[in-house]
Amino acid sequence: MIRKTFFLFAFLLTLVVSCSYLHTGSKTSKPEHVAIDLDSIRVRGKLIAVTNVNSTNYFIYKGEPMGFTYDLLKSFSDHLGLDLEIITENQLKDAFKDLNSGKADLLAIGLTVNSSRKQEVSFTEPIEETRQVLVQRKPNNWRSLTADNINRMLLRNQLDLAGKTVYVQEGSSHVGRMRTLSEEIGDSINIVEVPYDAEKLIRNVAGGEIDYTVCDENVAKVISTYYHNIDVSTPVSFPQNIAWAVRKDYSGKLLKELDEWITSYRKTKAYAFLYAKYFRNSGMSRMVKSDYYSLNTGKLSRYDDIIKKYSASINWDWRLLASLVCQESHFNPGIKSWAGAYGLMQIMPVTAKEFGIDVKASPENNIRAGIKYIQYLYSIFDSRIPDESERLHFVLAAYNSGPGHVLDAMKLAEKNGMDPHKWYGNVAVWMLKKSDPKYYNDPVVKSGYFKGTETVAFVTDIIDRYEHYKNLLPGDGLNSFEYLASADQAGK
């Protein structure tokens, strides 16, 4: 998405410092530059949310980030006009720590609202409602049995949990519910807390490693479509609200904005479609079983090995190059643009011919030509942009627009008192102005008119997608661009 706002770095730094909260020695101390409420989040220009990685909340499929929580967060951040940064954490205690330490503004995990948690955080309006269910394994010969016979062999009465061992996620509301249920039935339930999320625990039930776990029904029903030998039909709680959370003492305006947005959004067709997409969609099973459902396979496309091979030659993390390929072609090797650019990296055949490469001969040839072109662009910007992280933005912009238009924007930035060596808030601003005759007719401009919105979005989309890839995919040992998140954000 196109960055909603551009900030001069000095102005941003001044405002963030002035809005930050720091009180050394107090129990309520916050790290320096923590955004304490919506006003300072707006100044910072991005919303930071912590969420968990699983097949309903946040994952990658065929190269693109997806998930019920992810899509909700994107809608909310777009509503605010802010960028979105996601921190991933599947351990609940660490997710709460990320929120309350100020590392994140919002805890976007489906949390059961209960009185003990209300002492620690402030809950939003409910995102949804569900109940907790027992997850158990059907008998081995269940396919040959009638429904009545299966029911007789499974636990259908909560009293039957007496003496059973139930594994639950450490720190989850399921722990408390099982303890309460043990009191209610007047007998002991052996409750084992483990550092695994519900999805992994259900997988363990399906695989026969454990016999019972507890999960929220909406999630359990989705996962049961992947593992046909599990049963999720025995409730162990009454309906409960599921919500997000903000810091209790520092997020009044953010909470008010969230509550108003959630209340309104839940009444829309967009929310109904989103809920159906992730919780009532039989196609989710096929997606999860795909080779390109990255949580299971770590793969983005059939061309990952080639991308890894050639990314090393330009000292790029393979996930960064993959993000570029996804942006250009969505991993379709036969795609051709209206202008004649071809293949995975959308290289013009005439450009590739200058490197002695036939881009139509094979997907590998196409990637090899793209790498040659990137190396050529680096030869232009290596001496002009001293900072490596900034240089990447210029190379990506030039990959989309051609180097001439980027060089023009640099000259316009310098002429008008901005930093020609910084992309966000500086050269990107003048890239956008190259469609205005007042600026493309300026004597310093050599390449004429250009509609820069696509190029600015191109750079942003590649870097944003790369951040998602870093969240959800294993790297390859190259750390050259691990600093991009902080460098990118500081420059906006």
CA dist 352 and 464 (Å) reads 28
Q: Is 188 helix (H, G, I), strand (E, B) or coil?
A: coil
User: 420 to each of 204, 340, 450, how far by Cα in Å?
Assistant: 55, 31, 18
Residue 32 sits at φ, ψ, to 5 deg, of -60, 145
* Residue 383 near residue 367 (C-beta atoms within 8 A): no
Buried b (16+ CB within 10 A) or exposed e, 23-33: eeeeeeebeee
> Which amino acid is located at 231 in the chain?
D
- For residue 191, give both structure tokens: 């409750």
Burial (0-12, 13-18, 19+ Cβ within 10 Å), 141: exposed
Residue 328: active-site member: yes
CA-based torsion, 107, 113, 115, 116: positive or negative = negative
* Residue 243 near residue 127 (C-beta atoms within 8 A): yes
- For residue 138, give both structure tokens: 């059907």
64: region left, alpha or beta (phi > 0 left; psi from -120 to 50 alpha):
beta
Q: Which of 328, 354, 364, 414 is catalytic?
A: 328
| Interstrand relation of 59-61 and 64-66 (parallel, antiparallel or unpaired) | antiparallel
Give the position of tokens 């040992």. Answer: 477
Residues serving a catalytic function are: 328
